[in-house]
Structures are given as C-alpha cells and as structure tokens.
Structure 1
Amino acid sequence: MRVTVTAPNSAPAIAIEHLQVRRGGRQVLQDISLTVPRGSITGLLGPSGCGKTTLMRCMVGTQLVESGSVRVLGEDAGSPGLRRRVGYVTQAPSIYDDLTVTDNVAYFGALYGCSYDDVETAIAAVGLSSHAGNRGNQLSGGQRTRASLACALVADPELLVLDEPTVGLDPVLRADLWEQFHELARGGRTLIVSSHVMDEAEHCDKLLLMREGRLLAQLSPDELRSDTGESSLENAFLALIRMGEEL
C-alpha cells in the first residue's frame, strides 16, 4: 500500500470541542470534547445506542451538529480538502453485489483518479487478491468487510474511520482484521475503530469510552486498568461507570 506520510506533526488528527448533536428532539451527543493522536489506533467503545456511530459521522462530516467544533487533519470536518484524506467504512458493507471486488474498488478509485495499480495494491492490502474476480454476492461476510475496507483504502487516506468493522465475524477473522489495522497504523495512518466488545480495546493505543451520549474517559487500556484497579477491561469499564454514578 502506498504511504504518503508527511513530516511529523504534533497536532492531533482529530480535535473535538463541546460537541452537541440533537436528533428528533433527543440529545444524542452531550458536550463531547476529545483529541485523537496521529499515527495511532483509537478505539471508540461503548454499548449499542450510546452515540458511537453519530460521533463518527461527525468526524467524517456527514452529521449535522447543534453546536461545538470538529477539526480533522487541521480542517473543519467535511471540508472538500478532506475527501481524499479520510476513509470511512460503515457498519454495512459498502460494495455492489453484482460487481467483482476489482470493479468495486476501481469504482471508488475512479472518484479520486486512482490508477489500476492503486486498485490492485488496495485489494492486496486486505488479503483479497485471490478473490479479486469474485462478485460481491459470492463473498463471505468477512470478505465483504475486507472489500469495503479496500474501497476506503484505494485513495490512500491519512485517516480511517471504521464503524464496528468486526461485528459478526468469527475470532480468526477478527484477529486477521486487527493485524491489518496495526499494519496500517505502522505505516503512519490514524485509525478510529468503534466496537461494543470490550476485549477489542486490548488492540488499541487509546480508548474513547462512551455511555448514553457522553464521553466517560479518554485513556489507554493500561490507564483504564490502573484507574479502576481491574485487570479485565470489561470489568474496568463497568467500574468506570459506577465511579461516574457515585459522583
């Protein structure tokens, strides 16, 4: 995969201040402030319905916000200059069932003027070269997720926002995907990966822990254990919730 990492930049990949989002008269995100360091894997974790997807939509500029600011790679989220610099993989695979893997990735690559070599490189990066000629409806669930990731990778984005990419996958496929995520981070990319499974926090450099539209904490897995005195990350998260309720 091509890597277009520029000189080191101490500014965060994402900086959010006092973000508020209301939908259908309901407050979905409440006073969210956070930063995401560059060249890292940040896990966005919390139970289903806590606001993770809404927060990610704010990061990629597809969500209307009530107030607050969202800066991504030094620009306002959703700015035209970010279209090639940010890749977004939604929960549902974003591929066409009647197109092959190659044609799906080439379609997205054409939006950014990518070459055929770029398409092949993106497919190889997710381990689908041997299935490049298969149509979307011939792929397994894990392969469809990988094909969607290739569609996001073809433009060589600096930031990847992945919404529950491992949901429904068996443990072996989950492990393979996480190894790919770490390889991308080692190449200088920044990844935001959401999940409602706490054991996936172990794979992350930093964690953003959410509940009921609020950000409970932003810290590393080791810091979470240290702050709560729990060795299990799931128990540590529950302890963090109890500590918040007692305040």
Structure 2
Amino acid sequence: MTEDTRITTTDPPGRVPSTGTDTVVETSALTKRYGDRAAVDAVDMTVRRGEIYGFLGPNGAGKTTTLRMILGLIRPTSGTVRVLGRPAGSREASASTGALIEGPGFFPYLSGRANLRTLARHRGLSDRSVEEVLARVGLVDRGGDAYKSYSLGMKQRLGVAAALLGDPELIVLDEPTNGLDPSGMADMRALIVELARSGHTVILSSHLLGEVQEICDRVGVIANGRLVRESTVSTLLGDAVLKVRGTPVHRVVSIASDLAGENGFEIDGDSVLLDLPPDRAPEVVRALVAEDVDVSSIGPAERTLEDVFFEMTTASTPMKGA
C-alpha cells in the first residue's frame, strides 16, 4: 500500500455532512432474537468520533450480528441504533458509512477496477475515486485483473477499497487483515491508523488481539450476546505486575502470599506473578533472599489484551468501564 496517496477530504457526491456530534455510533438496549435465542442481548455501545474502536468476542458471540444492525442490514428485535445522529440504515447514515463485513462480494469475471467502478457509478462517484482507493490498498497494478484470479488477501484488499469509496466518516471493517501476509497486515494497520488520524472513525473487528492492542483506542468485548466490557485499551490492561523467577518455587509462592495476599499472585509456568507495582521489586527481593531463595530474575510483566480477553469472555457477569 502506498503511504503518499491521500483520500480527498472534500464531501463527494452522496455524502451527507456530519451532524457535528462527538458520538458516531450509539446503541441502546440493542437486542436481536432468533426464536428463543438472543444473538445480541441489550447491548449499550458507544463509538466516538475519530477513534479506532476494537470490537472483540469469541465466534458466535454476536459481533457480526451487532455490526449488521449498526449498518442497517438487519433490524433489531428491540432497542435502538443511531449512526452519526441518525437511525441506522437511513439514507443519511448509509451515505456516510463504508463497510467490509464477512468478506467481500464482487462479480468474479469483472476486473477489480471494473467492480469498483460499478459501485462508484451507482453512488454517483467518479472513476478518479476508484483509482484513489486502489492506490490506498496497493492494487493499482492488479486492478485490471479479473477478480476471480485474486488471492484471498487481494480480495480482502479490494473489499477494503470498496469500503473507502466516497470517503465515509464511519468505516466498519470485519477482519480486514484476513488472508494478508505479514507485510500486508502491517500496511493495513498503517492505513487504519492514518484513516483515524485524518478524522475518520473506524470500527475494527479482529481475532488478532495483538493487532487490536497495537492500534485501537477503545475496545468493546461481547460474549454470549452481551457487552461485558467497554473501555480504553490501557484501562483494560491495567498496571504492570511483578514477575519473579526463583528457586525453590514453593518458597517464592509462600512469600508472594505474604506480600500480595492469598489472591494477589498466580503461578505462570516457572514464574510467579505478584499483583504488586514494579517499584516494590527491592522489597520483594529482600524478602526472597532472607528466605534463602535464589532469585534468577524479577521485573515488570504487563498483561496482554489476549490475557484480559480470555478472562472476560469466560466470566459471566457483565460490567462496563470508562
């Protein structure tokens, strides 16, 4: 993908000017039921202007159903969705939203460029807008090839290009790095960050939690159809804890219990994690040495988003953060 090509910042034909609100997406008690099963259950979700919002959850948790309701592709059983201050699925909201959901769908015998031109003309956009988005996703040289000849990664890039047509205020991307090689994934991350910096709002659904941790401002975690947490990434990760390696391990555990409490430590392989701030390391070392523990290492250990994700999705009590 090229870094020097820029999407125009003027409102293209069909785009509705922003209402000026700081909230781009807001759901209230959003629910979708299929018979007796609640695929999405009373979700209150807020996406703010200019942020990259990571939407996470296990398979079958309700992510895609929620995104489809935000886009107006399916109707909720109850509750409401507003996009840019307007009802989801309305002409005004749809004109300012671009999306890639559950993989792209194009005419197989048309070229990538022809597929995008078909979409652009339907929306009253110029061929120039097609060339701009092809450049953004690195497909200018392959734009003339038939879609059926594209690799999975190239198809994904073309889907993202379609989502960028018309310079939408809100961009919803469901697994945009699927099928990309490491270089392509890095380019896609850079593109998403640049879009947010230029004023776009991005909702990113991804199973690559390291990717989400790296680029997202806030995340919402859904499990069993319910939003169990919505918060900034830094708040979710919390403060660093102390990671200690020493022998004998049973003495490390005993001292960890004395210093951090019975519920303030956990065994992680050959290490012990203490729920204590890193600046207490000297105190911990002195306590260990006093008990004849051979300390091989001690230092801060930050939790990853993957750690937090598994903790939250295996818990049953919904909660909401800042």
Give the TM-score category using the shorter length: over 0.9
Matched AA of 1:55: T
Equivalent position amino acid for 1:107 in 2: T
RMSD between superposed Cα atoms in Å: 2.2
Q: What is the CA-CA distance between 1:246 and the residue it aligns to? A: 10
Separation of aligned partners in 2, 1:246 and 1:120: 45
Matched, 1:210 2:222: yes
Structure 1 position 19, deviation (Å): 0.8
Which amino acid counterpart does residue 2 of structure 1 have in structure 2?
A: T
Distance 1:24 1:175, change over 3 A: farther
Per-residue deviation at 1:9? Answer: 3.4
How many Å apart are 1:221 and its aligned residue? 1.4
CA distance in 2, matches of 1:33, 1:8: 21
Q: Give matches, 1:1-247, under 5 Å.
A: 1-4=7-10, 9-202=20-213, 203-226=215-238, 231-241=303-313, 244-245=316-317
**SS of match in other structure, 1:110:** helix
Kindly tell me the number of residue pairs found equivalent between the two proteins: 247
Separation of aligned partners in 2, 1:246 and 1:218: 10
**Structure 1 stretches of 5 or more lacking a match?**
none
How far apart are 1:200 and its partner, in Å?
2.3
Matches of 1:82 and 1:242, distance apart in 2: 35
Q: CA offset at residue 93 of structure 1?
A: 1.8
Higher relative contact order (CA 8 A, sep 6+): 1
Separation in 2, partners of 1:170, 1:94: 21
- Cα drift, residue 231 of structure 1: 1.4
Rounded Cα–Cα distance in structure 2 between residues aligned with 1:218 and 1:121: 34
Give distance in 1, aligned partners of 2:104 and 2:90. Answer: 24
**How many angstroms does 1:8 deviate by?**
9.4
State the TM-score, normalized to the length of structure 1.
0.92
Question: How far 1:198 sits from its partner (Å)?
Answer: 1.9
C-alpha separation in 1, matches of 2:10 and 2:63: 28
Letter in 1 for 2:226: R
Residue 223 of structure 1: how far off its partner (Å):
0.7
CA contact (8 A) 2:23 2:84 kept: yes
The offset of 1:7, in angstroms, is 8.0
| Inter-CA distance 8–179: structure 2 relative to 1 (3 Å threshold) | farther
Residue type of the alignment partner of 1:112? R
Q: Which residue identity lines up with residue 194 of structure 2 in the other structure?
A: E
Contiguous gaps of at least 5 residues in structure 2:
1-6, 12-16, 242-301
The higher radius of gyration belongs to: 2
Report the more deviating stretch, 182-191 or 45-54: 182-191
CA shift at 1:110, angstroms?
Answer: 0.8
